[in-house]
Amino acid sequence: MSNEIRCDLCVIGAGSGGLSVAAGAAQMGASVVLVERGAMGGDCLNTGCVPSKALLAAAKAAHGVWKAARFGVEAPEPAIDHELVHAHVRGTIDAIAPHDSQERFEGLGVRVIRAHARFIGPDTLVADGTTVRARRFVLATGSRAFVPPVPGLDTVPFLTNETLFEEPRAIGHLIVLGGGPIGVEMAQAHRRLGARVTLVEKGTILPKDDPELVAVVRRHLVAEGVDLREGTGVARVSGGVTAVLDDGSTVEGTHLLVAAGRRANVEELGLDAAGVELAKNGVVTDARLRTTNRRVFAVGDVAGGPQFTHVAGYHAGIVIRNALFRLPAKVNYDALPWVTYSDPELAQVGLTEAMARERQGEVRVLRAPFAESDRARAEARTDGLVKLVLSRRGRVLGASIVGAQAGEQIALWTLAVSKRLHVGAVAGLTLPYPTLAETGKRAAGGWYTPSLFGERTRRLVRFLARFG
């Protein structure tokens, strides 16, 4: 006979969203069961955010040696020990893993079942011979790399983010299929670590970002030697790793990385039995992240929204308020930031210029180049731009930053968008000198330039001067 557990909340998936729900709910007094068939920590820890950023850090260090001469520092050509780079990536994962471990969550009072979960009814699932009946369920099953139907792809070895970081040896020529954030980041990282890289994108790279700022990233990729093939797809692959492109050209590589988007993990969960309806990429959810079975919520990639780790964490808070406290909390992505960790970084929050003009018609755009930042000049990182999109009355609708530490700088503008601040709130700040963040303040100050330095102000100053 199978065991049976009754609980307040059952979470399926131990990625960032599922772990946040489980930890929060358990510490608030709920009885929680967490079911995970794979590695604790999910994609972000094991095959996504953490290893990719560790690899990018190694690549940035190598690039720093290449560029040291611009500061008068003579350095020999960097020697890349790929096994040690791999060890750094693995060590970073291992250092963070205890926070996501089964032992930690059991210490919080969570019952952890390491098995596949399958619903057998609207309020019941089975996992490893155990029946779980819960008042509420949370789907947090994440997503995996989408493998496009390219002829021949099933006959050649290829990498995805799930296998890329397991490769400790040098890569000779990496062909990257897809120009989204993952494709761009990994193309640049491997180029800096000594590989030849060809990036193939049927459209344009980073299509969700502002084209004006994407152009800066593109310029750096090309300057560093990435063979960028935009506007053409892969017609077929064959041989070892030979890609024939739509334009008739052929690229021969040693490794192929498929970075053509993500697909939600919804298979073999018994969602039909649970009464959970599927969507195009995930499950159907309302603004409160409830599925078509009001007992079942969804967080993270499987919820069908933006696929970012920080979105999964945000979803966790929404679900806890709904599932535990029955508060009608709803998702709102108006102030959602995202970052592509290329070098220079590209960060966005709120509306881009194109989105704002489409939705609101008349808007005002302010810009400030990094070249006007004293800190950027001191660090020889002047290729960058802050771009603000404002309403007619000066409310911050969105901000885009491309340049050094753009991901850190976007935090201020996330606050401005989320609190519906007037641009003057940032223009009036006193910021430490010299910092890159001053570039954003300089852009904000552009709101006042026409009036502050216009003829009307000049006449007022001349008039007041008459009185001594």
Nearest-5° Cα angle at 208, 144 to 246: 75
Is 190 within 8 Å of 183 (Cβ atoms)? no
Is 388 within 8 Å of 350 (Cβ atoms)? no
Task: Please report the pLDDT score of residue 1 as a whole number.
Answer: 43
Task: Please report the pLDDT score of residue 429 as a whole number.
Answer: 97
Is 389 within 8 Å of 353 (Cβ atoms)? yes
Task: Please report the pLDDT score of residue 253 as a whole number.
Answer: 97
Task: Please report the pLDDT score of residue 457 as a whole number.
Answer: 86
Phi, psi of 294 (to 5 degrees): -65, -10
| Helix 49-66 vs helix 181-192: crossing angle, to nearest 10 | 40
Nearest-5° Cα angle at 52, 340 to 411: 40
In our burial notation (b when 16+ CB lie closer than 10 A, e otherwise), range 385-409 reads bbbbbbbeebebbbbbbbbbbbbeb
In our burial notation (b when 16+ CB lie closer than 10 A, e otherwise), range 341-378 reads bbbbbbbbbbbbbebbeeeeeebbbbebbbeebebbee
Task: Read off the tokens for 110.
Answer: 């969570």
Task: Please report the pLDDT score of residue 167 as a whole number.
Answer: 87
153-260, what's its fold?
A: FAD/NAD(P)-binding domain (3.50.50)
Cα separation of 413 and 350, whole Å? 9
> What does the pLDDT profile of the chain (468 residues) look like in tens digits?
459 999 999 999 999 999 999 999 999 999 999 999 999 999 999 999 999 999 999 999 999 999 999 999 998 989 999 999 999 999 999 999 999 999 999 999 999 999 999 999 999 999 999 999 999 999 999 999 999 999 999 999 999 999 999 988 899 999 999 999 999 999 999 999 999 999 999 999 999 999 999 999 999 999 999 999 999 999 999 988 999 999 999 999 999 999 999 999 999 999 999 999 999 999 999 999 999 999 999 999 999 999 999 999 999 999 999 999 999 999 999 999 999 999 999 999 999 999 999 999 999 999 999 999 999 999 999 999 999 999 999 999 999 999 999 999 999 999 999 999 999 999 999 999 999 999 999 999 999 998 888 888 888 888 899 997
> Which helix (H) or strand (E) element contains residue 285?
none
* CATH architecture, range 3-40+101-144+263-323: 3-Layer(bba) Sandwich (3.50)
Whether cis (ω within 30° of 0) applies to the bond prior to 51 is: no
337-452, what's its fold?
A: Enolase-like; domain 1 (3.30.390)
Fold match, 3-40+101-144+263-323 / 153-260? yes
Task: Read off the tokens for 258.
Answer: 């498929």
Q: Domain locations in the chain?
A: 3-40+101-144+263-323, 153-260, 337-452
Cα dist. 32→42, 130, 142, 260, 288 in Å? 18, 14, 19, 35, 20
